[in-house]
């Protein structure tokens, strides 16, 4: 059964400093995304997992399948090429997994500064478009479905990039709870963050770092929420709203 809920979208503006004497600081947006609260019936969260490159964390994937936990997986073209077996498992469970676009090569959708968290940015709108379209094509080749949402590398965007993504017909996938900080945290830290999730949160974590401790924390944190009675929904089970609490339909 699909649960239709309301997405609440807000954007926080962050200032990115360039040189110390620069008078015009380029800025980027870090979209925040929430879903409507499940309320007394059952609190709910949307679990989103990025598959940037590398391999699959089978600790997480196996746990989700065995416990029937729904999740939205953001896949890059690079990851799809190397993880056909994991993609097959996800496709075999359409009631659990929604696959969405994370780009072709995991490039930040930023055109006004060269780097974001050490990653080379797209640098121009044509390059951003190419990254998005390349991800779509990779998903088509892998028969992974038609994406509705787009999340770039770092989940930060220049203003022009957000406008372009919308013009291309996609929604920008923000989040409200960063569970693993790019899979860099220890298991206990990740578990604590996820287990503290609130009704209506959109959680971001990673499913492509099997050798890191963070993955174990993802599993334990999700289990803690399940034991609290939380329900897990995918992003395609929700309706986006331009105003908090106001569904389009």
Question: Tell me, what's the pLDDT at 126?
Answer: 97
pLDDT at 208 over 60: yes
* Residue among 212, 209, 211, 218 nearest 54 (CA): 209
DSSP H helices, the chain, are 58-67, 77-82, 84-91, 125-141, 159-167, 187-195, 214-227
Tell me what pLDDT residue 237 has: 86
Q: What is the pLDDT of residues 50-95, one digit of tens each?
A: 999 999 999 999 999 999 999 999 999 999 999 999 999 999 999 9
Q: Which two tokens stand for residue 30?
A: 């870090």
Question: What confidence category does residue 242 fall into, taking pLDDT thresholds of 50, 70 and 90?
Answer: very low
Comparing 11-15, 126-130, 204-208, which segment has the lowest mean pLDDT? 11-15
* Structural domain includes residue 248: no
When pLDDT is averaged across residues 38-48 and rounded to a whole number, the result is 92
Contact between 218 and 209 (Cβ < 8 Å): no
Do the domain assignments include residue 70?
Answer: yes
Provide the CATH number for the domain around residue 188: 3.20.20.370
- 32 within domain boundaries: no
Place of tokens 């073209």: 77
pLDDT band at 26 (very low <50, low <70, confident <90, very high): low
Cα dist. 113→17, 109, 120, 161, 244 in Å? Answer: 10, 10, 9, 12, 31
Whether residue 22 is predicted with pLDDT greater than 50 in this model: the reply is: no
Model confidence over 182-193: pLDDT tens digits? 999 999 999 999
Q: Does residue 151 form part of some domain? A: yes
* CA–CA dist 222, 185 (Å, integer): 16
Which three-class secondary structure state does DSSP give residue 117?
Answer: coil
| Mean pLDDT over each residue of the chain, to the nearest integer | 87
Cβ-proximal residues to 150 (8 Å cutoff; 6+ apart), any chain: 100, 101, 102, 103, 132, 135, 165, 170, 171, 172, 173
pLDDT tier for residue 25 given thresholds of 50, 70 and 90: low
Confidence tier at 239 by pLDDT (50, 70, 90): low
- 23 lies in a domain? no
Residue 178: inside a domain, yes or no?
yes
3-class DSSP state for residue 165?
helix
Structural domain includes residue 64: yes
Cα 249 to Cα 246: distance, rounded to the nearest angstrom: 9
Mean pLDDT score, 234-240: 76
* pTM for this predicted structure: 0.88
Assess if residue 27 is contained within a domain. Answer: no
- Mean pLDDT is lowest, of 42-46, 76-80, 116-120, 197-201, for 116-120
Task: Please tell me the total count of domains within the chain.
Answer: 1
Percent of the chain beyond pLDDT 90? 76
| Cα gap 110→27, rounded to integer Å | 10
The region of weakest confidence among 7-16, 56-65, 124-133, 233-242 is: 7-16
> Tens digits of per-residue pLDDT, 121-150?
988 999 999 999 999 999 999 999 999 999
pLDDT band at 33 (very low <50, low <70, confident <90, very high): very high
Domain interval for residue 129: 5-16+42-241
pLDDT-derived band at 27 (thresholds 50, 70, 90) equals confident
Distance CA 187, CA 189 (A): 5
Q: ∠ CA(13), CA(16), CA(19), 5° rounding?
A: 155
């Amino acid at each position: 059964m699909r649960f239709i809920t309301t997405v609440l979208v807000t954007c926080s503006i962050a200032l990115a400093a360039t040189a110390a004497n620069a008078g015009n600081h380029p800025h980027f947006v870090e979209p925040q995304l929430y879903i409507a609260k499940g309320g007394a019936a059952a609190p709910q969260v949307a679990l989103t997992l990025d598959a940037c490159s590398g391999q699959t964390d089978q600790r997480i994937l196996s746990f989700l399948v065995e416990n029937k936990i729904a999740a939205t997986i953001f896949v890059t073209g690079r990851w799809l090429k190397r993880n056909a077996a994991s993609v097959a498992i996800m496709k075999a469970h359409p009631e659990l997994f929604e696959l969405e676009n994370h780009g072709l090569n995991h490039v930040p959708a930023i055109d006004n500064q060269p780097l974001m968290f050490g990653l080379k940015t797209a640098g121009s709108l044509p390059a951003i478009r190419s990254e998005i379209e390349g991800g779509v094509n990779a998903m088509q080749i892998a028969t992974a479905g038609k994406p509705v949402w787009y999340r770039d590398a770092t989940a930060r965007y220049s203003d022009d990039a957000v406008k372009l993504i919308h013009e291309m017909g996609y929604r920008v996938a923000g989040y409200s709870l960063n569970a693993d900080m790019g899979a860099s945290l220890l298991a206990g830290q990740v578990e604590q963050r996820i287990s503290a999730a609130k009704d209506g949160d959109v959680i971001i974590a990673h499913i492509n770092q099997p050798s890191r401790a963070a993955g174990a924390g993802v599993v334990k944190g999700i289990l803690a929420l399940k034991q609290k009675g939380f329900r897990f929904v995918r992003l395609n089970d929700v309706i986006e709203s331009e105003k908090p609490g106001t569904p389009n339909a």
